[in-house]
Structure 1
Amino acid sequence: MQPQFLHAVQQLIPAERYFDDPLSTLAFGTDASFYRLTPKLVLRVESEQEVIALLKLAGQYQVPLTFRAAGTSLSGQAVTDSVLLVLGENWQQYQIFELGERIRLAPGVIGAQANQWLAPYGRKIGPDPASINSCKIGGIVANNASGMCCGTAQNSFNTLHGMRLVLADGTVLDTEDAASVAAFRQSHAPLLAELSTLAQQTCDNPELLAKIRHKYRLKNTMGFSLNALTEFSDPIDILSHLMVGSEGCLGFISSVTYQTVPEHPHKASALYVFPDIASCCQAVTLLKDTPVAAVELLDRRSLRSVQHKAGLPAWVATLSEGAAALLIESRAATVPQLERQIATIQQQLAAFELEQKVEFTREPAVCEQLWAIRKGTFPAVGAVRETGTTVIIEDVTFPLPRLAEGVLALQRLFDRFGYHEAIIFGHALEGNLHFVFTQSFNSATEIQRYADFMREVAQLVAVEFGGALKAEHGTGRNMAPFVELEWGTEAYQLMWRIKQLLDPQHILNPEVVLSRDSQLHLKHLKALPAADPLVDKCIECGFCEPVCPSRKLTLTPRQRIVAQREISLLQQSGEDSARLAALQQAYQYAGTDTCAACGLCSTACPVGINTGDLTRQLRGRANQRFQGLANFAASKFSVISSLGRTALNIGQLGARMLGPAMPLWHQAMPTAARAFQLPDQPDLDSGLIPVLYFGSCSGRVMGPQQHSQDLRSLAEVSANLLQKAGYQLFQPPKLAQQCCGMPFQSKGQFAAAKQLQQQLHQWLMQHSEQGRIAVFCDSSPCSLTLREALDPRLQLFDSIDFIYDKVLPKLKLNKQAAPLALHISCSAQQLEQGRKLTELAAACTEQLVIPEGISCCGFAGDKGFFLPELNASALSDLARQVSKCSRGVSSSRTCEIGLSRHSGVEYQHLLYLLDAQSD
């Protein structure tokens, strides 16, 4: 790469967003596909002006660029060995028009977030990909992603209202701005004339026109969107619709305006199991014209992959070998309308013989259970794959009348090529089938098996059935060699003319969508070597990334696993010791030190991986020499707690005396917790129900901040609140020595943590009378740590659960008028307390604010004290969102320190608010 180009880029992009080191280029260069290319340079771009300048530089120096949004793409369209432009955090803008009828979105907005903004209007965006909680609008549009309910009518192409785009020469076109359109018509008249000519030639070619219309009656993302040439006459419209599904090969999408679709509030689901695939697919044909929102097909192998999951009907395991199921959902604006729709659907299916069925239900728990079958299939294959293999998910479309033939033909191919674990499921109404199988790329024989299989699949789907090789996952590198096979030479050459017209220098994502290399799909295959059993099942999908608190600062869980795999590969090979040393050195801070180990990644991961577990293991290996010291500290925990209170007293005194001369001390730092004596045993004559109080060490050591509106200890507040509902908290002797073990566990000192947990277990069993008396834990992190560590006879309640289930019904709460901020901590999310926390807080205020885009606060126990940049990064957008709030609440004392510091609003445990607002 030319030095002049690099020098120019360095003048444009700040050093903190310029990455050329081995760890960053490896980590940022990974997407969800089974291809691996390491970029020479990664740039985090934050503005359209930067993109324009980089496009001009790339054109000047002939440097290929690839755009990346969330990197959840599956076909290799977001990897490169040149320059990768990654969307930064400044692409979150949105505007809602006409009561939600339209929404304008920047490309960095996550799809699910857009739907949250639209929810009050009863609307949503049309596309609904399975990755909607992670993927971003830029990727959704660039891949023309769809999903279970979207079909073809509601994809980005058909719900596009307007677009702002940047062409390869740096020119901006905003199709919703009359001045921009007029200027573009003048400056790019030859380009628009050529697009009009291509459209006219296409429409004048009956054979080509018929092929395009046939292909887009199907769900199809293979090649460029040629239907832009047949459905529009204005070249501005043609251009904007060519951008949809172009995978970054024709330009950059700065924003998009969607025509939104209704999100009906009432829905019902059913599961119908047919004895064979033929009758199942015949039912799909009949359902096409009924009021269904989604019809998902599952073959017997996919049902078998999840049949042992907890909560699923026992009969799933007993289904016949040829069985196939339809998961059906209907949605409506009103309950009566929904009931009429259900009756229509049932009437259409009444004549079919069934093996089993779950009738239509509106019960949320049952519906969730049914959809868990569908959503669990892909992860189920990933979870059981052999280490070193990858999970491949392909998606094809068959013409609906031939769907059964297509399923059976695919199953025969699986058997022929030895993919006995392969499963088929998909969006049946569109003839869109996903098939999932595991593949090793560790030998020439395995690569050849894959090559032969994919050649047969391409011939079967594209030629024999006239279907589409990519229904919704994009062409990428994966299917670029087969575009001509599917479309024919005439349409294929038309796509190359479009590419040449819009990217004459071929600098935009080369080798994606279109390639002259017939073996491209067999090159740069991703190796997935064993790194650690805790994370070896990772499929690098990226679903974990939006919830990670270090995502803006260093690495995400996916990137940590990618780095550990590369380190493992280098260690095993014994090659490139310099690269290995560089990766290990960089990983210490970026991977280990700045991981909050909060575990939120496991809640978003399809196979439940907690990358925090890996981080704790790595810390434990690195800190083995401190094991004796940790065990000693655990045995003297009451002394450690006492020293903590002393340190806080000294710190507060120093802050008052030295002021700004103590830069590490800030207004949100806690005072030492005030002593408050609870009864040491139940008072049987009080008439109150006894509850054992297990106060966390953080609450016992740390009191409110210096100028808090309520300086009471958490123990005093808890006792006062519970007494209002008829409960008496008591605190047995030797509480000061008790700890859940989390401070040691987070540092990888597992023996010390176990020591404290065993001690706590004995103490709780003794004083709860072997579990007869309920235990009240005042900190969500402690409750999470102990969830599976203690005797199940113990009735251990987290404070939020206890208050919601047992105290709230007995309280009269008054609502404050001032806005209130709520932070649902990572531990509370894993305890599934989000709904309870929200309802408890909402009962105390007229206006509840739950900041968007903030998951874990990044304080991470004590990291907020010693690694404050993690906390600052995770909460970088907090102050803006809670600026009008009078106070904030959460359920973890350490989290509240960071939240208070970075918001300018005091956060306290929710119990303080409940006590203040209750009579």
Structure 2
Amino acid sequence: MSLPAAFLTEVKRLIPTERLFDDPLSTLAFGTDASFYRLVPKLVVRVESEAEVVELLKSAATHQVAVTFRAAGTSLSGQALSDSVLIVLGDNWNAREVRQQGAQIRLQPGVIGAQANMVLAPFQRKIGPDPASINACKIGGIVANNASGMCCGTAQNSYHTLAGIRLVLADGSVFDSEDQASVERFQQSHTELLAQLKALGQQTRANTELAAKIRHKYRLKNTTGLSLNALVDFDQPLDILSHLMVGSEGTLGFISSVTYDTVPDHPHKASALIVFPDVETCCRAVTVLKNQPVSAVELLDRRSLRSVENQKGMPEWVKALSANACALLIEARAAGESLLAEQLSQISASISHFPVEKQVEFSSDPLVYNQLWKIRKDTFPAVGAVRETGTTVIIEDVTFPVEQLAEGVNRLLGLFDKHAYSEAIIFGHALEGNLHFVFTQAFDSPEQVARYEVFMQDVAQLVAVEFGGSLKAEHGTGRNMAPFVELEWGRDAHQLMWQIKRLLDPQGILNPDVVLSTDPQIHLKHLKPLPAADEIVDKCIECGFCEPVCPSKGLTLSPRQRIVIWRDIQAKKRAGLDTTALERDYHYQGIDTCAATGLCAQRCPVGINTGDLVRKLRAGEATHARTANWLADHFETALNGTRATLTLANGVRKLLGAPRLQSLSTRLSHVSRQRIPQWTPAMPQAVRPIRVHPPANDARPRVVYLAACVSRAMGPAFSDSEQMPLIDKTRSLLEKAGYQVVFPDAQENLCCGQPFASKGYPEQAERKRTELVNALLEASRGGLDPIYCDTSPCTLRLIQDGIDPRLNLHDPVKFIREHLLDRLEITPQAKPIALHVTCSTQHLGEAQGLIDIARRCATQVVIPEGIHCCGFAGDKGFTTPELNSHSLRDLKDAVQICDEGISTSRTCEIGLSHHAGIDYHGLVYLVDRVSRPRSI
């Protein structure tokens, strides 16, 4: 059934066309979240202001059109999906305001949770909620789901740390609890609504049995149903309304900002892993730890430990644990070291009488600490990584009364055996009795769906009825648990929730079938297919953790969406359906606009690099192998051609002037469908070939200088404040530090192979890489001398698939950090600099090293928030400039106090300079400027 024409007309009048999506590719791409459901919206609307939300809701109410709000789409229970209108947040929902030296923070719903904590870090504060998805999920989703996490418990969740809220109701009205004028207007315009909320609160508190049940339920971690505790915790209707919005999952209104009372973020911490011989002993220890100064206690059953025991870095003893072993990962935090030591002593003493099978004592050593938490964090992806293709990973989320935790764990294990979920594991936040259990499930046959249905019925009966626990502790009810809300809460409470829903959303247009549904089978409908697409991406669980670092997200597709669409294309092909139109659209949205830099793999729980899929698809389309072979064999000629082109462009610039050339090249690029690169004032000038001198026979240590092909061809832009080419500046710095600089032979014909690999010619790429490695071996005297590569992407290309162990290869950051800093005296400059950490620097593990060097060289270093990849991607900045432009759309505002930017990739610096309005240079320019040889 299509959307009403009158509604669509109003929406098109309100929202620009570029923020409306109704084509098959886009709607399918937005038809997935992190859950195991799929609903394809008829229309996706990207909103950029509260005023737009207000008008959309008024129109939706007029035409009775259902709408669903989405922040990051990392929710696990199907609450961010719609088969009607999906409203997603655009860029302009990222405001934050720190108050009272960090004691409070006001946030718009588009702020990522981790970003909020970064803003609060200087005050040693953080927001209370700490969901596992905090690096991807947004404040709107955190509040709407009342998401918590490992350290949050119940006391520090959104409900209990809420200081203020601004919301839009289903009728389009706005209420801001922190704005007295807004409060007064709302009291006048919604007198009847507030009176009914007040009456509901009075009736609920008067019903002593129901009120006691509500208080008991929220003594536990609980996000099943609406937040009925608002009716017993508050008597003022505006307070009730504000707190009902927490955990409402978009079914009662839209949250346009929230103010948190923040919590301490203690800098000193230590962790221990203690393995007990059985579940019972482990859970008895939990009841003791409940009264100790611990910040987190994570339970891991033997199955979860087994799921990670073979992973790299895992201690060998994990494999030898007994069959019934059960572990606790314990963390303590404190404001000072002495207090932390006291806490650790107290905690250890409190559980010293329990028998222990194995333990890692409390440690503050980051290596030990991070290793222990890696065990915990890798359990969920470990199950995802070994599942059969076509199955999905389901993570359920229940709470048992902590005093019955051991029996609850064992009963769950029994259900796994009963329903043959042999791969299922249990872990969770033990202090709250909150357990996550992970299992794999196919939905491709009625038998599998029926198996899941009976299993969930058994789980619901066990948790909600027998133990009086919560079926959803922190993941939200969604459509996953909507049919079981009455089973858990009872008829009176369930009807009370429906009263609230009908009071605030009388037409039922806000996220229907989420939290509350009249369909007892809703949890078995709209199940998401995960068909085989390619072995590179088949393990994707569509969680969305990858999306914040993707430069094309918001321009075209994110990594998650690329995989969703490619899966659908492959499934349709197998079914004999025509995919011509879908593949045509996917070519631009999925392939052409992918930077393929692989940052998504760093965020992916199962390590998927969507760029690998894109490169494979490009290789399948690559039809110019003869040209690629010629270029590989005549690389010096190609390099000279690049120099000639840059010289010609610079000559035309001198003739026409920069503004006219830029305008002309823009038109030519458009007419040629971007086959002709677009010229900008940041375009480099040509560099003459390197003048090489034979190595001197002296006592200086030698370093082999591998100048990347871009460094050998591309010099500074005509307007750059620095006119010395990178090669000359690097050689000068190395010699200043006392090194003799040696170049490999026939360097003009050398290349790491990256240009060929990115275009889909892996054979030619590997040939050039092998040639270069051999040349470096010879130049470094078989690996005796260190090798300095002046561009981080080339360094990564050489080492990512393994390299001859004799080669001692360094990118600029590593070489400066390990070999130059001790040879130079540095006086930091007062002028602030902007710093861009390239994708390759992050992959090389040198991000923090680059930041440390920059801060040593400049007293103020600006690292623009949210810019993870510049989107230039080798030559994409020339051929697909909109990707570079989109990725750096916020850069200019972020670096306005700076006169210079620093990075480690010449091509990245072209795009950065163009979009920032300041010159970006290689790191060596900064280090050379502020250094002099160290006195011996």
Q: Specify the SS of the correspondent of 1:217.
A: coil
Deviation of 1:715 after TM superposition, in Å, equals 1.7
Deviation sequence 1:65-94 (CA, Å, 0-9, x none):
000000000000001100000000000001
Q: Does 1:672 align with 2:674?
A: no
Per the alignment, residue 749 of structure 2 pairs with 737
Structure 2 unaligned runs (5+)? 663-677
1:72 aligned residue: 74
Structure 2 counterpart of 1:695, from 700, 707, 710: 707
Distance in 2 of aligned mates of 1:283 and 1:550: 48
- 8 Å contact from structure 1 (residues 676, 713) kept in 2: no
1:278-317 mapped onto 2 (5 Å cutoff): 278-317=280-319
Kept in 2, the 8 Å contact 1:876–1:902? The answer is: yes
Specify the SS of the correspondent of 1:219: coil
Partner residue of 1:783 out of 768, 775, 795:
795
* 1:240 paired residue number: 242
Identify which range, 797-806 or 901-910, moves more after superposition: 797-806
The answer to whether the Cα contact below 8 Å between 2:197 and 2:240 also exists between their aligned partners in 1 is yes
Tell me the distance in 2 between the aligned counterparts of 1:493 and 1:574: 48
- How many angstroms apart in 2 are the aligned matches of 1:243 and 1:708? 53
Q: Pick one of 438, 447, 459 that aligns with 2:440.
A: 438
Cα displacement string for residues 10-38 of structure 1 (whole angstroms, at most 9, x for unaligned residues): 11110100000000001122100000110
| TM-score, length-scaled by structure 1 | 0.99
- Residue correspondence of structure 1 range 149-548 to structure 2 within 5 A: 149-548=151-550
Give a deviation string over 1:845-884, Cα, whole Å, max 9, x none.
1211000010100001011011111000000000001011
Secondary structure class of the residue paired with 2:252: coil
Contact 2:601–2:610 (Cα < 8 Å) also in 1:
yes
CA distance in structure 1 between the aligned counterparts of 2:338 and 2:803, rounded to whole angstroms: 49
Residue identity in the other structure for 2:105 = I
Write the deviation string for residues 645-682 of structure 1: whole angstroms up to 9, x where unpaired: 1111111111121223322322111011244424343x
* CA shift digits 1:403-438 (9 cap, x unpaired): 000000000100111100000000000000000000
- Equivalent-residue separation in structure 2 for 1:642 and 1:321 (angstroms): 66
Query: Deviation digits for residues 580-629 of structure 1, max 9, x if unmatched?
Result: 22211110111100000010000100000000000001111112x21221
Task: Tell me how far 1:817 sits from its aligned partner.
Answer: 1.3
- Answer whether contact 1:655 1:665 (CA < 8 A) is retained: no
Paired residue secondary structure (1:158): coil
The aligned residue for residue 917 of structure 1 is 930
Could you tell me which of 885, 909, 913 is aligned with 2:898?
Answer: 885
Task: Confirm whether residue 833 of structure 1 aligns to residue 846 of structure 2.
Answer: yes
CA distance in 1, matches of 2:860, 2:929: 17
Q: Aligned residue for 2:604?
A: 605
Given that residues 680 and 733 in structure 1 are in contact (C-alpha distance below 8 angstroms), is that contact kept between their aligned partners in structure 2? no
Which string of whole-angstrom CA distances, capped at 9 and with x for unpartnered residues, describes residues 701-748 of structure 1?
Answer: 101111222222222211221222222211132011111111110111
TM-score where L is the length of structure 2: 0.97
Question: 2:734 and 2:297 mapped to 1: Cα distance?
Answer: 49
Instruction: Select which of 34, 43, 61 maps to 2:63.
Output: 61
Q: Which amino acid aligns with 2:757?
A: Q
One-letter code aligned to 1:610:
N
Residues 798-834 of structure 1, C-alpha deviations (whole Å, 9 max, x = no match): 1210111111122111111111000001111111111
Does 793-802 or 906-915 show the bigger shift?
793-802
Q: Which amino acid aligns with 2:585?
A: A
The separation in 2 between residues aligned to 1:708 and 1:38, in whole angstroms, is 49
Q: Distance in 2 between matches of 1:250 and 1:673?
A: 62
SS of 1:435 mapped into structure 2: strand
Name the % identity. Answer: 60
For 1:794 and 1:202, how far apart are their aligned partners in 2?
73
Whether contact under 8 Å (1:679, 1:732) holds in the other structure is: no
Q: Which residue does the alignment assign to 1:704?
A: 716
**Alignment match, 2:667:** none
CA distance in 2 between partners of 1:238 and 1:680 (Å): 81
- Determine the C-alpha separation between the residues in 1 that align with 2:736 and 2:326: 56
Distance 2:873 2:139 in 1: 31
Partner letter of residue 667 of structure 1? P
Tell me the SS of whatever aligns to 1:843.
helix
The aligned amino acid for 1:640 is A
The code of the aligned residue for 1:135 comes to C
Partners of 1:858 and 1:77 lie apart in 2 by 32
Range 704-713 or range 265-274, more displaced? 704-713
2:624 corresponds, among 607, 623, 626, to 626
Counterpart-to-counterpart distance in 2, 1:732 and 1:39:
58
Q: Distance in 2 between matches of 1:143 and 1:674?
A: 60
Is structure 2 residue 901 aligned with structure 1 residue 895?
Answer: no
> C-alpha offsets along residues 507-555 of structure 1, whole Å, 9 cap, x if unaligned?
0000000001111111010010000000000000000000000012111
Distance (whole Å) between structure 1 residues aligned to residue 69 and residue 16 of structure 2 = 18
Structure 1 counterpart of 2:805? 792
1:39 alignment counterpart: 41
* Displacement over 6 Å in runs of 4+: none
Asked if the contact 1:738–1:760 (Cα under 8 Å) also holds between the matched residues in 2, the reply is yes
Matching residue of 1:718: 730
Most deviating of 761-770 and 195-204:
761-770
Gaps of 5+ in 1: none
SS in 1 for 2:484: helix
- Contact 1:225–1:241 (CA under 8 A) maintained in structure 2: yes
Structure 2 letter corresponding to 1:453: F
CA separation in 2, counterparts of 1:895 and 1:480?
49
Contact 2:745/2:775, CA 8 A, preserved across alignment: no
SS in 2 for 1:295: strand
Q: Which residue of 1 aligns with 2:669?
A: none
Distance in 2 of aligned mates of 1:732 and 1:254: 59
Contact 2:443 2:529 survives alignment (8 Å)? yes
| Letter paired with 2:809 | L
In structure 1, the residue matched to 2:635 is 637
What residue is the counterpart of 1:773 in the other structure?
A: 785
Q: What secondary structure sits across from 1:691 in the alignment?
A: strand
- What SS is found at the alignment partner of 2:218? helix
Give the corresponding residue for 1:592: 591
State the SS of the aligned residue for 2:35: coil
**Secondary structure at 1:353's aligned position in 2?**
coil
Instruction: Tell me the SS of whatever aligns to 1:268.
Output: strand
CA distance in 2, matches of 1:92, 1:794: 46
Cα displacement (A) at 1:684: 2.8
